[in-house]
Amino acid sequence: MENAEKFTTLIKNGQWYKGNTHTHSLISDGRCSYDEVIGFYKGRGYNFLAMTEHEIYTAHEGFDAGGFIVIPGMETAPVSQEEGYNISGMYHGLLLLAKKERAGLKYANMQKAGPLEWTGQRGFQASIDSLSSDGDNLVIMHCPRWNQMTPDDLLPYSGYCAIEIYNHVCQEMGMQGNAEAHWDLLIRSGRSVWGIASDDLHANNDPRFIGGGWIMAKATGLSIGEIAAAIERGSFYSTQGPLIYDCFIREDTIHLECSPVEKAYITFFGDFGDFGGSGGKRAAFFSGATCWGGKGGDFAIGAGGGSGDGGDGANGADDANSAACVYTLDKRLGKIMQGLKLDGTYAVRITLEDGRKNLAWANPIFVRK
């Protein structure tokens, strides 16, 4: 059993760091100064904050202290010279996060680096390539739900490591902040694209707009390079509250260690062929299963480290004092895999929900045998 291959996106040895990857100040269209905004997050126990002003790269120094760092960044979106800004369907936004320490960055602090010129989809791909080409930047796709991008819009693009699956201000202001459907379609196509939750803060110190969604990165340390490396390889999860301590698949069994939750939604993606390679089949089937804490559902959550008998998973959900639960989604998963006639190549994505309807999204785990 121990020799069986373990599939996970999380690095083995690391620490957890809390961060927001999408933030505006008065430098672009936020309501508060750069240092005020940093103070809002620092005061709430965040460990890192990416500042992402529209079309202006910021890399101010002097804010890193006491278990907190600022990641330089920018938000950029193409503009049609002929038709003006933000035409419907044309706001294909990107977030850049610095991938290296400040020395050698592609842009200087306060450099106006956009907007890109909208020249159609091919041009947008060229923009992604250009922005990430020298290896200095991570590229994250802005929440495609708010942009009203269709999956067809999104599928041709590559070269970004993640998409915003939850953008809090877009959700609060217009119910357009959840892009899980876009994410699922990308995974279904065999893309190892990670899902990010962020505030996209524009407001002042308003609890309605801060802390709506964030990421927890498992990294080797707290530096720009180490956090960026964790994001790039998917060693993080997104959340509105529930915590994930470990999540992996071994021998068709999902092992999940997390804070008390009421539900685990599990989505299977299967029959990818060679995962996006030229000759492979695309997903022929995918399905969801829901686990309620030991009380039914498509298969049970076993508590206590893998008894595998379904157990009483409700222990965790019902006990507010419980710091963590170990949920082993038992061998029934193997039966489901057989039932789906999957050939051993599949992906699984897990969403958790606590008693207050807060969600957490684990990154997809791709199992290749």
By CB under 5 A, residue 53 contacts Zn ion: no
Q: Measured from the CB of residue 9, what is the shortest distance to Zn ion in angstroms?
A: 25
Q: What is the DSSP string of 254-307?
A: EEEEES--SEEEEEEEE--TTTTSTTPPPP-EEEEEEEETTTEESSPEEETTT-
CA distance 27 to 17: 26
The smaller minimum CB distance to Zn ion, of residues 182 and 263, is found at 182
Q: Measured from the CB of residue 52, what is the shortest distance to Zn ion in angstroms?
A: 6
**Would you tell me how many other CB atoms lie within 10 Å of the CB of residue 269?**
24
Q: Measured from the CB of residue 45, what is the shortest distance to Zn ion in angstroms?
A: 22
Stretch that binds Zn ion, among 72-80, 100-108, 228-236, 290-298 (CB under 5 A): 72-80
Residue 148's SS3 state is coil
Residues in the interface with Zn ion (CB under 5 A) total 2
Stretch that binds Zn ion, among 133-141, 180-188, 198-206, 280-288 (CB under 5 A): 198-206
Stretch that binds Zn ion, among 80-88, 187-195, 199-207, 241-249 (CB under 5 A): 199-207
Q: Measured from the CB of residue 294, what is the shortest distance to Zn ion in angstroms?
A: 41
DSSP H helical segments within 142-247, as ranges? 151-154, 168-174, 180-188, 224-233
Q: Which residues contact 228 (CB under 8 A, 6 or more apart)?
A: 71, 97, 98, 99, 100, 138
Stretch that binds Zn ion, among 56-64, 69-77, 84-92, 148-156 (CB under 5 A): 69-77
CA distance 83 to 11: 46
Stretch that binds Zn ion, among 71-79, 143-151, 245-253, 293-301 (CB under 5 A): 71-79
Q: Measured from the CB of residue 262, what is the shortest distance to Zn ion in angstroms?
A: 32
DSSP conformational letter for 313: T
Q: Measured from the CB of residue 196, what is the shortest distance to Zn ion in angstroms?
A: 12
CA distance 122 to 136: 22
The smaller minimum CB distance to Zn ion, of residues 174 and 334, is found at 174
Q: Measured from the CB of residue 182, what is the shortest distance to Zn ion in angstroms?
A: 17
Find, among 67, 73, 68, the residue nearest to 21 by Cα. 73
The smaller minimum CB distance to Zn ion, of residues 28 and 80, is found at 28
Stretch that binds Zn ion, among 118-126, 177-185, 192-200, 276-284 (CB under 5 A): 192-200
- Choice from 53, 184, 199, 200 touching Zn ion (CB under 5 A): 200
In this structure, which amino acid lies at residue 218? Answer: K
Q: Measured from the CB of residue 331, what is the shortest distance to Zn ion in angstroms?
A: 44
Q: Which residues contact 278 (CB under 8 A, 6 or more apart)?
A: none
Q: Measured from the CB of residue 24, what is the shortest distance to Zn ion in angstroms?
A: 6
137-141 and 94-98: which strand pairing? antiparallel
Burial 185-218 (b: 16+ CB within 10 A, else e): bbbbbbbbbbbbbbbbbbbeeeeebbbbbbbbbb
The smaller minimum CB distance to Zn ion, of residues 200 and 262, is found at 200
For Zn ion, the nearest residue by Cβ is 200
The smaller minimum CB distance to Zn ion, of residues 33 and 322, is found at 33
The smaller minimum CB distance to Zn ion, of residues 96 and 336, is found at 96
- The residues that touch Zn ion, with contacts defined as CB under 5 A, are 75, 200
